[in-house]
Structure 1
Amino acid sequence: MYTFLSRSIIPIVASVALLAPACSWAQQGDLLARIKDAKQLTVATEARYAPFEYVDAGKIVGYDIDLMNHVLGKALPGVKLKVSDLPFQGLLPGLDARRFDMILAAVTVNKDRADHFAFTLPVADATIGVLLRANEAGSVKSTSDLNGKIAGAQIGSVQTQALTALDKTLKSSGGEGLKQIKQYVSYDEAYGDLAAGRIDVVAQSLANIGPLMKSRPGVFAVMPQTIGPKSYFAWVMRKDSDSGALLRVISDGIAEANRDGTMKKLQLKWFGTTMDVPADALPVPSM
């Protein structure tokens, strides 16, 4: 059984090899060739985002881990996965600094991120729902019921972005708007504050909300109306020629897993349900 308890933040530590001048690695072929030579794909994730990735018995497990291991087994046999656990706020800067090969985490694709980074094909639906206490289910049924509420989300997340947009929409419609948007280092903290009554709602992807509610029956409920546009989770790479071949291989593997049913089997295992995601292209983000 997984838990939603916070773990201590593990600092990013760059190896001596990663501190070498850019020209030294650029002369060794592209990233995919170096990964094949080393027989290791180095990724970073935030292992506090169950069921996508979390720590169980000292090991990082979850949907993303299983799906990537399947892709590697098919496309890059013999290449092993090395996973570092970092705070979410350090993932994109760490990728930019070349401290790892790619981000293996549930990262929502949005316009700002897509302008700077390359995304794989989608691996899951990231549409945002609103989590509330079970005893509030009867009084919070739509976004208009969120006027005057304190909402929580993770720092730097698309969910926080969606709450900011919602606040503007509520105010432009003549409402009070959200009383406060409280931002957290991890969602575990937000869930704890929601259960304790310190905040009123949490914006989170529906994919995460379902397993959370199942693990804590009777504690939470979900608002029937979602917020923000349809969106997707994908894995992240640098947007450069060095990463291009790896991006194609991983995306092709995701597409195959989507079409042959492997993705849905893993979704049933980790989420208890399946979700339709495009297998041919990543939709252009609208937010």
Structure 2
Amino acid sequence: MQNLLTLKSLTLCAAFAVSLGASAHAADLLEKIKADKVFTVATEARFAPFEFVDDGKIVGYSADIMQEVMKALPGVELKRLDLPWQGILPGLAASRFDYVVTSVTVTPERMKAYKLSAPVADATMAILKRKGDAEISKPEDIAGKPVGSQAGSAQLKALETFSAELKAAGKDATTVSSYTDFSEAYADLGAGRLRAVVNSLPNLLEAARQRPDAFEVVLPTFGPKTYFSWAGRNDTDSATLNAFMDSELAKLNASGKLAEFQKKWFGAQMELPATLPATE
């Protein structure tokens, strides 16, 4: 009887171990994507030239990169969810999709909360003004003026920080307004309701290129050097997917493909580190 009980116990233990192994395998997000043949990513397709809608399709710098990445996932469909920026990182944390393929500005807080990819572009902050506005010739000139940026963005936080620094230096307070997306802020700038908009330099260069009669970029940039990344969940189930995405981005960087896309969408190549630099 004791031998029979021992045999049953061993059988149950073995079955439990197999069950655990199967559960761990099923939980691996990259394997699940391959099995389901669908890779669901979130993007904000109102962030030209990174992601935007043209003729009913999501196009741009990130879309071109993902087209290359998907070659390493044969037979898998890319499903892109076009969402407002404010819901993207919370949606990732809630597992509403697999990965974020939109421009996520790197911050210390986001590096702790998510697994950010290798840098995909420069995201250093700059200022857009109405063409011919002689009162704004450098970043400090926004003091005392109405300035806008996107709600919930690192760009808005950078604007608020910079505004506080100007006020601490004895300059007039900047009136800060937030918008659901940058197109609304650009519209208010064009209409005269704002004097400037703060965004990352590549986006502002594109806005000025699209409307050279209305806008111009104020240089130099302000604040620390900053980068855009993509984002995955910072958990065990997502580890192989995160490693896969980093590997594919590294291959595209080494092959010169990223530089090719940068020249296509921004007019020049960006100098990007291979990995994310440490942040304070």
Same fold? TM cut 0.5: yes
Match among 122, 126, 136 for residue 125 of structure 1: 122
Preserved CA contact (<8 Å) 2:51 2:62: yes
**Partner residue, 1:277:** 272
**Alignment CA distance shift 1:65-1:25 (3 Å):** farther
Of Structure 1 and Structure 2, the greater helix share is in 2
| Paired amino acid for 1:173 | A
Superposed CA offset, 1:154-211 (max 9, x none): 0001111111111111111111131x11000010000000011101100011111112
Residue-by-residue CA offset, 1:101-139 (whole Å, 9 max, x unaligned): 011101101011111111011100001110000111x33
Give a deviation string over 1:191-246, Cα, whole Å, max 9, x none. Answer: 00001110110001111111211111221111112122111001011100111111
Q: Which digits, 9 at most, give the CA deviation of each residue in 1:69-94, with x for residues without a partner?
A: 21221x32332211011110010111
Shift of 1:60: 1.1
Q: Aligned AA for 1:135?
A: G
Match for residue 66 of structure 1?
Answer: 64
Structure-1-length-normalised TM-score? 0.87
Q: Give the match for residue 139 of structure 2.
A: 143
Match of 1:199 in 2: 194
> Structure 1 pair 135/25, CA: closer, same or farther in 2 (3 Å)?
farther
TM-score, normalized by length of structure 2?
0.89
Question: Is the contact between residue 108 and residue 158 of structure 1 (CA under 8 Å) also seen in structure 2?
Answer: yes
- Residue 111 (structure 1) aligned with residue 108 (structure 2): yes
Distance 1:25 1:50, change over 3 A: farther
Partner of 1:186: 181
| Alignment partner, residue 225 of structure 1 | 220
Please tell me the residue identity of whatever aligns with 1:163: L
Cα separation, 2, equivalents of 1:284 and 1:76: 31
Residues 50-80 of structure 1 show CA distances to partners (whole Å, capped at 9, x for unaligned) of 111111111111111110121221x323322
Please point out which of 153, 162, 166 is paired with 2:162: 166
Which structure has the greater CA radius of gyration? 2
Partner of 2:204: 209
User: 1:250-280, CA deviations, whole angstroms, 9 ceiling, x for partnerless residues?
Assistant: 111111111111001111112222211112x
Rounded Cα–Cα distance in structure 2 between residues aligned with 1:212 and 1:203: 12
Q: Percent identity?
A: 45
Residues 46, 52 of structure 2: 8 Å contact kept: yes
Aligned residues: 259
Return 5+ residue gaps in structure 1 as ranges: 1-23
Greater mean alpha carbon deviation, residues 263-272 or residues 119-128? 263-272
C-alpha deviation, 1:27, in angstroms: 5.9
- Matching residue of 1:156: 152
1:245 pairs with one of 226, 235, 240: 240
Contact 1:154–1:184 (CA<8 Å) still a contact in 2?
Answer: yes
C-alpha RMSD over aligned residues: 1.5
**1-structure distance, mates of 2:192, 2:132:** 11
In 1: Cα distance, 2:148 partner to 2:76 partner: 39
